[in-house]
A and B are shown apart, each in its own frame.
Chain A
Amino acid sequence: GAGVSQSPRYKVAKRGQDVALRCDPISGHVSLFWYQQALGQGPEFLTYFQNEAQLDKSGLPSDRFFAERPEGSVSTLKIQRTQQEDSAVYLCASSLAGQAQETQYFGPGTRLLVL
């Protein structure tokens, strides 16, 4: 079946622009995660949804970052007034129920470059 998809795959933004990154999780997966992966580093947790509820946003680096999942399926990560330090790959993952031992399935990521 279809895996997690993300769009766009690449995004170039000028400093100060707003961007929106989309994630389509695996159908039926309750839990959805966003991670940020800087060049040469491992992914860092940003936020977690269970259905439409955002249960944890402790990893969002600033109030310029905002995520939503209004109908419990597709999610959007929005970054306002982008800065150069926001340049990274943004990964979305989904899992069936979000338990600790459960496999998270990752999308291909969106590579954001802020100039």
Chain B
Amino acid sequence: GDSVTQMEGPVTLSEEAFLTINCTYTATGYPSLFWYVQYPGEGLQLLLKATKADDKGSNKGFEATYRKETTSFHLEKGSVQVSDSAVYFCALSVNDYKLSFGAGTTVTVRA
């Protein structure tokens, strides 16, 4: 079935460090890919998305490129802040409405 595998956490970084969270997918069709973020005490919210191969999603300094050849959608940010501390979820949707999520990666940024 359709699934997402993402890098296990937790990840701890210092402020201004570079962040990468790996995400790979398995899908029978052509999925749309998403990164959702859950800040402490808040609900899941969409961070960015890409709907076709080679698309780049970006938001709040985060970027991810839809790579069909490697079935990947890695999340990157060049310089993290303490406020980026959260749980990050990679997700996909294949030609329908269901979101299939990865297990989540907890990121902690130290001042």
Contacts and interface: CB of A to CB of B under 8 A. Distances in A.
Given A41-B104, A42-B89, A43-B101, A101 B51 contact: yes
B103 interface: yes
A59 B96 CA distance: 14
Contacts of B93: 100-101
Given A42-B89, A42-B91, A108-B43, A101 B49 contact: yes
B46 to A, nearest CB: 5
B98 to A, nearest CB: 5
Name B's interface SS: loop
A42 B102 contact: yes
Name A's interface SS: loop
Interface residues of A, number: 29
Interface stretch (A10-18, A60-68, A79-87, A91-99): A91-99
B92 to A, nearest CB: 10
Contacts of B69: none
Interface string B92-111: 01111111111110000000
A114 interface: no
B103 A103 contact: no
A76 interface: no
Interface in B31-67: 32, 36, 42-46, 49, 51
Interface of A: 3-4, 31, 33, 35, 40-45, 48, 56, 59, 91, 93, 95, 98-109
| CB-based closest 6 A-B pairs | A42-B101, A106-B44, A108-B43, A98-B97, A106-B43, A101-B51
